[in-house]
Structure 1
Amino acid sequence: MKFKSAWRWPAVALVVVLAAGLYFAFGPLGKGGKEQRYQQQALERGNLTQSVSANGTLNPVTLVSVGTQVSGTVKKLHVDYNARVDKNQVLAELDDVLFAAQVGQDQASLKSAQANLELTSANEKRAQSLFAQEYISRQELDQAVQARKAAVAQVEQVGAALRRSRANLGYSVIRSPVSGVVVDRSVDVGQTVAASFQTPTLFKIAQDLSKMQIDSAFAEADIGLIRQGQKVRFNVDAFPDRAFHGVVRLIRLNPTTVQNVVTYDVVIAVDNPDQVLLPGMTAYVNIGVARREDALLVPNAALRFKPAEAPPAAKPGEGKKKRDAASGTVWVLRAGKLTPVTLTLGISDGRNTEMLAGELKAGDQVIIAENGQVKGKSGGGLQLRPF
């Protein structure tokens, strides 16, 4: 037992010394340690498209709300949701009993007024004859003339009332003002609609679903990049694997402010020949606002990278009050040392950024991250177990 105990501790010490030697010889602090510690990526040339994104809602280009000018009870419905209708097609009918009764009353009043006009006209002729023979005074003749004129006015007044009542009778039949598709129906048979203060909406008709538009809200930071005629790419949840296309048609100048966030409505024209896009769908819109051909691409991960142990004298930005918004810094390995390089940047697509000027060229390696085993400083060393 004493012999084994005497050899145990020297053996442990020898293993520790060998492990330390291997670590310093081949580990991150030895030869090639810098290259193994950092993940690098080469700069490449390629095409780059900058885009701005927002959400919007698909709507028909023309959506007509059909109401009624008269009050009444719905007697019949001739169309339902998704029904295709033509211009002047009957959509619904209101109970017309009261309107028909009013028409009959005004017709009777008109006949009475016309009979009175015939009587006053005959009286005027007799008065003129008697006045010529000096059997009546001038005043009596004038009264006869005035009675005839009043009867004429009465006929015109009752005639206007009759035309109004006939119009109201016609309004009891609700007709479509345009050709299209019924996308909403707000009434049922037996329901009473009142048009006393405002016209109630009974139906909504989309005039042409093969032509639609997206009403999208873009932030004020992006609106300066958007122009009419720019091409648009968008997706909808109903067809996640299909890309749709459109064109910017209008930028509305009326801003919307919600919780100090200012947005502008951008109207995008969309062709929908197969009518798979439906009103109310949420569209995820991307507008390409700039494009570069054969640009030198810098990974955005390299622009975001900041080494944990940067040389104090080499930290970028020292002595500057404010960095230019169009500049950025990447880190490279030169002679085994971390070196910052400042670049002049252009547009970005979210993954890569265009390099306009700098000391790098295509094929140069830039650091994008540190290896996980170095960041954690655990799990990569040699584990020793006691004897």
Structure 2
Amino acid sequence: MGIKRYLKYLVLGGILLVLLGGGWWWLAERRPRVRYQLEPVRRTDLEVKVVANGTLNPVTTVLVGTQVTGMIKKIYADYNSEVKKGQVIAQIDQALFKARVDQAQGNYQVAQANVLKAQANLEDARNDYRRYQTLWQQNLVARDDFDNAYTRYETSRAELRAAQAQVAQAAANLKSAETDLQYTTIMSPVDGVVVSRNVDVGQTVVASFQTPTLFNIAQDLTKMQVDTSVDEADIGKVKEGQTATFMVDAYPGRSFTGQVTQVRLSPQTVQNVVTYNVVIETENPEFLLKPGMTASVDILVTRRQQVLAVPNAALRFRPSAPADVAIPEGSHVWRLDADQRPVPVPLVTGLSDGQWTEVLEGDLTIADQLIVAQISGTDAAEQGRRTPGGRRRPF
């Protein structure tokens, strides 16, 4: 009985050990393992850019208006017309202006005739004054007669000066009327291309306090500029002379090059967002770029070639269960040690393009693999517990 009891306890103990071992193995296999996504350290070119949007415009645009009021009688230039300096591009009806010139001419001639009349009166008054002066000295006429002759003489002199002033005034009115007549002929002030035409034949244009714009002429479309709105947070990085590249929707995949020529000081505020206008000039020899096109602009601030760089995701990574090591202050990345445990590596960083960051100091080489993300999941042994038919094994 003692041996049988002993064997019974031995068998029960063995079964218990098997059950405990199987349970421990099952729990260990079910415990999620932490895995990591790695990215290598590498050498690369880094570029820091300021990204903005802008609009293409001609470098020099001239707004052609009119200084007189009248009806447009003829138009000699249309959209996209090439014009030369001094070329007639529109004509305002001249009928009223010619009549005003004729009227001013007549007034001028009348004023000249009045001068001749005043000169004749002055000569007659001068002769009377001299005659009365001689007679008064001989006591042959009264003092009043002598004084009246002198008064007529001085009055004639004043009338001559007034007539001469009227001649000058009439000449000025004639010049003004002739100038207005010349203004009815609208001429191009520069060589260029008509970008827009804002009037039609028969339309009346009114020149008041604000001169109406009839034509918009681009002086040289082989040179264009991009008027770019740069955010106030980035404007400190932008300097004159920097290289810029931009793309337009009309030519997807094609990049155009320009140069920053002006950083304007005047701010533009729209819905509490402050931007500054940065002017980028570019060549347009093929006339591919059109005024008004929207451009996506990249302004190159600085560039470094073949620097040791780490991915920005590695700088942002923090392990969910901190390792039993001291975490350094400042910038650092994490890599796996020989026991596949994450350990921090302190760094001194430099330039960054938003995806990669330059390493100035740090114990890193190109061969190092850095942790960029942590992945939690069950061990691959979970897959091993399944039979080829897909059924799960009991342990």
Query: TM-score normalized by structure 1?
Result: 0.83
Whether the aligned pair in 2 keeps the contact of 1:310 and 1:338 (CA below 8 Å) is: no
Tell whether 2:241 aligns with 1:205.
no
Question: Match of 1:310?
Answer: 321
Alpha carbons of 1:315 and 1:196: their partners in 2 closer, same or farther (altered >3 Å)? Answer: farther
CA displacement, residues 326-376 of structure 1 (integer Å, 9 cap, x when unaligned) = x533221112102232322111122211011222222111122345xx469
Of residues 42, 54, 57, the one that matches 1:56 is 54
Bigger shift: residues 336-345 or 226-235: 336-345
SS class of match (1:241): coil
Alpha carbons of 1:198 and 1:358: their partners in 2 closer, same or farther (altered >3 Å)? Answer: same
Amino acid at match of 1:330: V
Of residues 245, 249, 253, the one that matches 2:257 is 245
Whether the aligned pair in 2 keeps the contact of 1:214 and 1:268 (CA below 8 Å) is: yes
SS class of match (2:43): strand
Q: What does 1:79-118 correspond to in 2, within 5 Å? A: 79-118=77-116
Alpha carbons of 1:28 and 1:45: their partners in 2 closer, same or farther (altered >3 Å)? Answer: farther
Q: What does 1:52-201 correspond to in 2, within 5 Å? A: 52-134=50-132, 137-201=149-213
Question: Match of 1:368?
Answer: 372
CA displacement, residues 201-259 of structure 1 (integer Å, 9 cap, x when unaligned) = 11111111111111111112211111111111111111122111111111111122333
Whether the aligned pair in 2 keeps the contact of 1:72 and 1:193 (CA below 8 Å) is: yes
Q: Distance in 2 between matches of 1:360 and 1:386?
A: 45
**RMSD, aligned α-carbons:** 2.9
SS class of match (2:345): strand
Q: Distance in 2 between matches of 1:143 and 1:376?
A: 123
Amino acid at match of 2:348: T
Alpha-carbon shift at residue 24 of structure 1 (Å): 4.5
Whether the aligned pair in 1 keeps the contact of 2:323 and 2:341 (CA below 8 Å) is: no
Unmatched 5+ residue regions in structure 1?
1-13, 321-326
Alpha carbons of 1:311 and 1:112: their partners in 2 closer, same or farther (altered >3 Å)? Answer: same
Q: Distance in 2 between matches of 1:240 and 1:350?
A: 24
Alpha carbons of 1:377 and 1:50: their partners in 2 closer, same or farther (altered >3 Å)? Answer: farther
SS class of match (2:370): strand
Q: What does 1:281-320 correspond to in 2, within 5 Å? A: 281-307=293-319, 309-311=320-322, 313=324, 316=327
Question: Match of 2:331?
Answer: 328
SS class of match (1:88): coil
Of residues 343, 347, 354, the one that matches 2:351 is 347
Question: Match of 1:385?
Answer: 391
Question: Match of 1:38?
Answer: 36
CA displacement, residues 156-213 of structure 1 (integer Å, 9 cap, x when unaligned) = 1111111101111111111111111111111111111111231111111111111111
Q: What does 1:231-242 correspond to in 2, within 5 Å? A: 231-242=243-254
Aligned residues: 353
Q: Distance in 2 between matches of 1:301 and 1:247?
A: 33
Alpha-carbon shift at residue 262 of structure 1 (Å): 2.2
Q: Distance in 2 between matches of 1:79 and 1:376?
A: 78
Amino acid at match of 1:367: I
Alpha carbons of 1:100 and 1:316: their partners in 2 closer, same or farther (altered >3 Å)? Answer: farther
SS class of match (2:132): coil
Question: Match of 2:14?
Answer: none
Q: Distance in 1 between matches of 2:200 and 2:275?
A: 39
CA displacement, residues 94-123 of structure 1 (integer Å, 9 cap, x when unaligned) = 111111111111111111111111111122
Answer with 1 or 2: which has the greater Rg: 2
SS class of match (1:229): coil
SS class of match (2:67): coil
Q: Distance in 1 between matches of 2:342 and 2:278?
A: 46
Query: TM-score normalized by structure 2?
Result: 0.81
SS class of match (2:253): strand
Whether the aligned pair in 1 keeps the contact of 2:244 and 2:299 (CA below 8 Å) is: yes
Q: Distance in 1 between matches of 2:378 and 2:276?
A: 46
Q: Distance in 2 between matches of 1:386 and 1:293?
A: 55
Amino acid at match of 2:355: R
Q: Distance in 1 between matches of 2:327 and 2:276?
A: 38
